[in-house]
Amino acid sequence: MRPTFWSKVDTAARKLTPFGLTMLLVLIGAVPLHLPGIASVTPLLPLIGIYYWAIYRPDLMPVSAVFVIGILYDALSGTPMGVSAAVFVIVHGIIDSQRRFFAGKSFMIIWLGFFLVSAGALLAIWILVSAYYGTFVKSEALIFQYVITLGCFPLLSWALLRWQRAFLRQA
């Protein structure tokens, strides 16, 4: 039986959802909350999406999509252009190379992996931003951003898992 137009649209939409959901995380992180000092400690939500999809559905989150997500994040967060994009692409590559290790592991192992990867990612962003400005930027906010990002991981990974089970079985 030949697929209909609407079944093709449905399949394409399902395949784009990891990219779309991670872009939504970028936008959520960019929403101004009008709280003093909150911008410097906003969780790195796109990193959670990139990490999750690189483990569970790397076929639906290619490196080109990760790069676009990083560029948009840089544009909306005020990070020097290309910094987050480069770090996100490196994280994607590291996780993609370690997928066999993560396969079938418990949530605690996945979270521990995120614990390590997000520490390295935030450190890399801090180093690159410091190099860009030619001076060490304050690192106190980095620690708070790291802790908040780690705290967001369980809820967001649960939501992404529910989405994957509900909508991406056929993709």
pLDDT in tens, 78-118: 899 999 999 999 999 999 999 999 988 999 999 999 999 99
Is residue 38 predicted with pLDDT exceeding 60? no
The pair of three-digit structure tokens given for residue 66, joined into one six-digit string: 């990760």
Q: Mean pLDDT across the stretch 30-43? A: 68
Note the pLDDT of residue 33. 66
When pLDDT is averaged across residues 22-36 and rounded to a whole number, the result is 82
- DSSP reduced 3-state for 28: helix
Label residue 20 by pLDDT band (50, 70, 90): very high
For position 7, what pLDDT does the model report? Answer: 82
Q: Residue 73 corresponds to which tokens in the numbers above?
A: 């994040």
Question: Which residues, in sequence order, are CB contacts of 75 under 8 Å at separation 6+?
Answer: 81
pLDDT for position 138 = 83
pLDDT digits (tens, 9 = 90+) for 107-162: 999 999 999 999 999 999 999 999 999 998 888 888 999 999 999 999 999 999 99
Residues in the chain: 171
CB 73, CB 46: distance < 8 Å: yes
Q: State the average pLDDT over residues 3-20.
A: 86
pLDDT, residue 2, reads 77
Q: Is the pLDDT of residue 36 over 70?
A: no
Q: How confident is the model at residue 34 (pLDDT cuts 50, 70, 90)?
A: low
Q: Which tokens is 40 given?
A: 């410097």
- The answer to whether the beta carbons of residues 96 and 119 sit under 8 Å apart is no
Give pLDDT tens digits for 40-79.
Answer: 578 999 999 999 999 999 999 999 999 999 999 999 988 9
Q: Which residues contact 98 (CB under 8 A, 6 or more apart)?
A: 113
